[in-house]
Amino acid sequence: MAPVGGLPFLEYLLLWLQSAGVQELILCVGYKRSQIQNWLGEGSRLGVNVTYSGEKKLLGTAGALKHAQHLVTAESFFVLNGDSFLSVDLGEMYRYHMLRRALATVAVVQQPRSARYGTVQVDRYGRIEAFREKNSDLGLMNGNDFQLINGGVYIMQREFLELIPCDKAASLEKEVFPSLVGTTLYGFVTNSYFIDIGIPADFERAQSELPERFTA
């Protein structure tokens, strides 16, 4: 687990979730999962209760959720990517999701225009109308300066899991979410702090920004 400012990136995510009142976590783990389990254990050190769903082969973001379905007991639950951090207000996002009776809600964050990310287009009611591939000029906000992107935080209803095929690799972003465009898939637009450590430059930026946010 790569450290960020002296702590593993996952620890910042867990500390943030714990501060938001989240107590029960299911971690979908695969490659080098024993390192995570040995480091985190049952989560008591960080004030959370952790259950693990281990993958013997890579199943993708949707396949990993399907594999963990038997562990999900709540009717509504949050899902987070493990390589990005979005400090969205989870309570506000949950209320938004429930008010719209959504099957799933995606936290959509406004970011400066970049070819690195695909974009998300929402209508005036918050319903997601389209996902645009990287390098597309469509789906932008405020002229050419900003775009809406997937922030990697979701709320889902249990029945959402029935849309995911069993025992095969599948992607939330490329397969499942696009199949729901124009229906009960909503976007919760936020300007919250966002960082994705998927490239070296942003991983380096996280070295200073995340420790500052957790010590302020």
pLDDT-derived band at 139 (thresholds 50, 70, 90) equals very low
- Identify each DSSP E strand in the chain by its residue range: 3-4, 7-8, 24-29, 49-54, 76-80, 84-86, 104-112, 119-122, 128-132, 140-141, 146-157, 185-190, 194-196
Considering the candidates 57, 134, 168, 174, report the single residue annotated as catalytic.
134
The token pair at 167 is 């025992």
Higher-confidence residue: 76 or 139?
76
Q: What is the pLDDT of residues 94-118, one digit of tens each?
A: 999 999 999 999 999 998 887 788 8
The token pair at 75 is 């009717």
Domain ranges of the chain: 3-215
- According to CATH, the topology of domain 3-215 is Spore Coat Polysaccharide Biosynthesis Protein SpsA; Chain A (3.90.550)
pLDDT of residue 141: 43
Per the annotation, the verdict on 56 as an active-site residue is no
CB atoms < 10 A from the CB of 172, how many?
Answer: 24
pLDDT-derived band at 7 (thresholds 50, 70, 90) equals low
Please give the mean pLDDT across all residues of the chain: 88
What percent of the chain has pLDDT above 70?
A: 91
pLDDT at 137 over 80: no
> pTM (2 decimals)?
0.89
